[in-house]
Amino acid sequence: MGSVGRQSNLRCDRGPYERRRAPCSRRCDLAEKPLPAPVKRQPLSPPPPASNPNTAAIMRATRSADTAPELALRRALHRRGLRYYKNRRPAPTLRAVADLVFVGARVCIFVDGCFWHGCPIHFSIPKRNGVWWAAKIEGNRARDDRHARALSDLGWLVVRVWEHDLKGGALLHTVDAVIEVVVSRSSRQVGAAVAPGCLSTTVI
């Protein structure tokens, strides 16, 4: 659906296989990777006070759902004819809430903010309270990986889209890639096995 040879920045998480350890613009390694050993989580200390009133206001205004990037993706997909559930748990038994869910294709899409999910291109640890923030973001990434593992075990394909891939000219390319993934999965038998290890997909 896109131009030949163009590459998408979508990450299709069929489990937490070396996720986000390389810039998201690289091609994925299709070789199967072993599952990492479970890591015992340490409780995070309470958040430190904001460094100034402006920072406090920004943090209070941060939305957990219906963010501008999510709305941009949803509206673009809707205009192209795709229908989906929004802000829904793909699996009722899991606490993972996906931004978009395509039930028939068993595809769930998570739109990841560059700061909160540790984008390898744009994220940098804040200078103030850096130790706390590093632990917080790493905890978010670990939670994302746990959710990807659990959903993959239930036959779902997890697609993660960076916030920066929904801005400007990148939006159209991302929308094309999402449509290709959903249409491809819809044409397959539901629950078919998918080889693990792919962190992105190529649009042809």
Residue 199 pLDDT > 50, yes or no? Answer: no
Q: Where does the pLDDT of residue 13 fall: very low under 50, low under 70, confident under 90, or very high at 90 and above?
A: low
pTM: 0.68
- Residue ranges of domains in the chain: 11-32+63-186
Q: Write out the DSSP string of 14-82.
A: SS-SSTTSS-TTSPP--S--PPPPP-PPPPPPPPPPPSSHHHHHHHHH--SSS-HHHHHHHHHHHHTT-
Q: Where does the pLDDT of residue 17 fall: very low under 50, low under 70, confident under 90, or very high at 90 and above?
A: very low
Q: What is the rounded average pLDDT of the residues 3-15?
A: 53
Tell me how long the chain is.
204
Position 49 scores a pLDDT of 62
Q: What superfamily does domain 11-32+63-186 belong to in CATH?
A: VSR Endonuclease (3.40.960.10)
**Residue pair 180/12 in contact by the 8 Å Cβ criterion:** no
Cα–Cα distance for residue pair 34/37, rounded to 1 Å: 9
Residue 23 pLDDT > 70, yes or no? Answer: no
Cα–Cα distance for residue pair 173/179, rounded to 1 Å: 10
**pLDDT tens-digit series, residues 31-70:** 333 434 444 556 666 666 656 666 555 555 565 578 999 9
Cα–Cα distance for residue pair 1/148, rounded to 1 Å: 26
**pLDDT tens-digit series, residues 65-85:** 789 999 999 999 999 999 999
